[in-house]
Chain A
Amino acid sequence: MPSGPANRAGSASGEAARGAAQPPGARSPAAGPPAAGSPRAGAILEVRDLSVDYLAGSGAVTAVDRVSFHVDPGEFMGIVGESGCGKSTLLFGIARLLAPPAELSGGCVMFRGANMVGLTDKELAAVRWKDLSVVMQSAMNALNPVTSIRAQFRDAMRAHGVTSRHEIARRSAEVLQMVGIDPVHLDSYPHQLSGGMRQRSMIAMAMLFTPELVIMDEPTSALDVVAQRSLMVQIKELQRQYGFAVIFVTHDMSLISHFSDRLMVMYAGQVAEIGATRRVFESPLHPYSAGLMEAFPSIRGPRAELTGIPGSPPDLARPPQGCRFAPRCPKVMPRCTSEQPGLYRAGGTDVRCFLHEGGAGTAGAGNGGAGDSGGDGGGVAGADSGSRS
């Protein structure tokens, strides 16, 4: 029985309906115009040199500076960073949800082979929610407070062409059960549900058409620690069952370390480090990542005095000339204040730091990242794709 609504014409709907039955990775990129440079084979999302500017009265502020990464089908990609690093802006850029004064100022977003940046609203609407859905940070902000959950699911489904009332009811109950909520809550209003249940219903809504990629913007930050853990476990379980890829943006590094396959650390709008999660955690190469790992007090283990990272992130309206982390870096060299490091490959991870310039090969040009090689070196696919749990 197809796990998605089957009463729509078009190949996209058919694929979505077959979503769960398809093994991940078996999909080939749609036949769109090939972008400059061949798309990475098999990747479901490839972001290349994406830049987002905020147009302020006095000039543009670059919130996201030439960020590149890719996500393979079924992969759990974590993006971590602190306030002001641009991770949420990056997410909105990928999902084409930016509104003025923010705008995409460069780069491309190849989703299943087609460049999302060039799509019109109509074409985007076809992609949204069927193949790519978004879970927002605060369910209380994203859910309509004056309509019931059932009505909101119905709106979403109607917007994508499902009109049969029977089908809507069936699918609504089905997705709620997927996330562990009793369907009797379909008639509740958001404020009647607990925080954890609200977030789950957001995820259920994102799962309505079993998309291939779900983007999540800090869905756990408003929850208590027990609810957080159970939500993460639920997401992993759904991922295992339905095979979709996840991009998970958060500031909570300790939480993400247990669930993500690959991890990208952002700082001041740029990629600082990207690689397999365990590797980034156990041996962080970038001084910022290393500083972050040190900033977590531990529950188990010895009680030691910690130091955070002194100073503040740079003012993005006037970024420093060289490396953006140089003013706060404990390992700063004279070179760092005048030149911007590129992304260098060092032992399976890409690092934006001159300390690792002479690594196993330069992944990018001297100025800025020219694309990450993720965890897959050359033709050896799978070896560095991270430890999938």
Chain B
Amino acid sequence: MAMMPVPTAAGDAPAQPGQAPGAGGPARWARGSGWARLGRAVTSNGKATAGTVLLAFFCFLAAFPGVLARGDPNAEVYGRSLGPSVRHLLGTTAYGQDIFAQTVWGTREVVIIAVAVGLLSTAIATIIGVAAAYLGGFSDGLLSLLTDVLLVIPLFPLLIVIAAYVRGAGTTVLVVVLTVTGWSYTARQLRAQALSLRRRDFLEAARVRGERKLYIIAVEIIPTMTSLLVASFLTNALYAVLFSSSLQFIGLGNPNTVSWGTMLYWAQNNEALQTGQYLWAVVPGACIAALGAAFALLNYAFDEIGNPALRPVRRTRAKRAG
């Protein structure tokens, strides 16, 4: 029952020029261009900063792996199953490959898959979800049916079947498979939000103004859903990281590529944990977890940035007077 009326002003023109009415707090750092606002939002929120730093780190590794790890990660030239040392920071695999180099070079494939699946899934989910919500009626029924059918099919078995059928799925196949199976979840969320926006007056105003439906969907609705779109991207990216690695782990990926998932596959094949080669199994797993955590942190952070009610509040001791 603790509703908090936020102080807002509802005064009127003609106000003095330059006097911007409104409450303090949110209005203050909401001024300025979109990028400036984004920058301020990220630095002010702990989760956002952590997530951004992690993600930036992995993106850097994906883009410039040669900076940190020279040499071919697949070359089986080193001593086998060596422990960590100055030459091999994380030791070597049972095949004589440098684990550190593999981890660094393996980042690229995972990040590419995550970003690609994230973008593609979100794009499809947006088109289908928002169109369903705005067009309503029969179109909505049809699109929702499609979404729900794909949603209900058990995901992992489907992935296995598809990947097994394709045999030795490379990056492209993984991206396609994960996109096709992953868009339906966020499509429902986007449809729900678009539905709640449908009756907003500015959409009716656009309609009364004479805009076409396509214009309204593309220009008036979708930009107002940016926070949910970003959240969809992050969710889908996280999902892609976890599931692509899982597929590679059970051997359905291409075992000859360098990726965290394939590292886990080979580690499992060689019973790394049982034979004491902990780093071989743990390091790629930890990286998967870290990248996933980066996406998850950013997701929480964007929630908090978008909805001030979710922000953590530092409690100060209430003054006891009188």
A contacts, CB < 8 Å to B: 35-36, 48-49, 54-59, 61, 63, 82-84, 86, 88-89, 92, 97-108, 115, 117-118, 136, 141-142, 269, 308, 310-318, 327
Contacts and interface: CB of A to CB of B under 8 A. Distances in A.
Contact of A99 (B2, B6, B24): B2
A56 B16 contact: no
B25 interface: yes
Nearest to B1: A97
B209 interface: no
A83 B10 CA distance: 6
Given A311-B14, A315-B24, A317-B28, 6 more contacts: A100-B315, A103-B316, A105-B319, A106-B319, A312-B19, A317-B24
Nearest to B4: A102
A330 to B, nearest CB: 15
Nearest to A36: B322
B7 A61 contact: yes
Interface of B: 1-12, 14-16, 19-26, 28-29, 44, 313-316, 318-322
Nearest to A313: B9
A230 to B, nearest CB: 26
Contacts of B16: 311, 327
B318 A317 contact: no
Nearest to B10: A83
Given A55-B316, A57-B29, A327-B16, A107 B5 contact: no
Nearest to A141: B3
Contact of A92 (B4, B19, B315): B4
A314 B15 CA distance: 11
A55 B313 contact: yes
A317 to B, nearest CB: 2
A73 to B, nearest CB: 22
A100 B321 CA distance: 19
Nearest to B5: A88
A153 to B, nearest CB: 16
A99 B318 CA distance: 12
25 contacts: A54-B7, A54-B25, A55-B314, A56-B25, A57-B29, A61-B23, A61-B25, A84-B23, A88-B5, A97-B2, A101-B4, A102-B4, A103-B316, A107-B321, A107-B322, A310-B12, A311-B11, A311-B14, A311-B15, A312-B11, A312-B15, A314-B9, A315-B21, A316-B7, A316-B24
A318 B4 CA distance: 20
Given A56-B24, A82-B10, A108-B321, A98 B4 contact: yes
A84 B7 CA distance: 5
A89 B7 contact: yes
Question: Sorted from nearest, which 4 A-B pairs have the closest CB atoms?
Answer: A312-B11, A317-B24, A108-B322, A56-B25
A124 B149 CA distance: 52
Contacts of B24: 54, 56, 58-59, 61, 315-318
A315 B12 contact: no
Contact of A101 (B14, B313, B319, B320): B313
Contacts of B7: 54, 61, 63, 84, 86, 89, 269, 316
Contacts of A35: 322
B21 A312 contact: yes
Contacts of B26: 56
A132 to B, nearest CB: 14
B25 A57 contact: yes
B10 A84 contact: yes
A106 B321 CA distance: 6
Contacts of B21: 312-313, 315
B2 A98 contact: yes
A117 B316 contact: no
A57 B44 contact: yes
Given A48-B322, A63-B7, A118-B320, A58 B313 contact: no
B321 A58 contact: no
A116 B194 CA distance: 45
Most chain B beta-carbon neighbours within 10 Å: one of A57, A58, A108, A269: A57
Contacts of B12: 308, 310-312
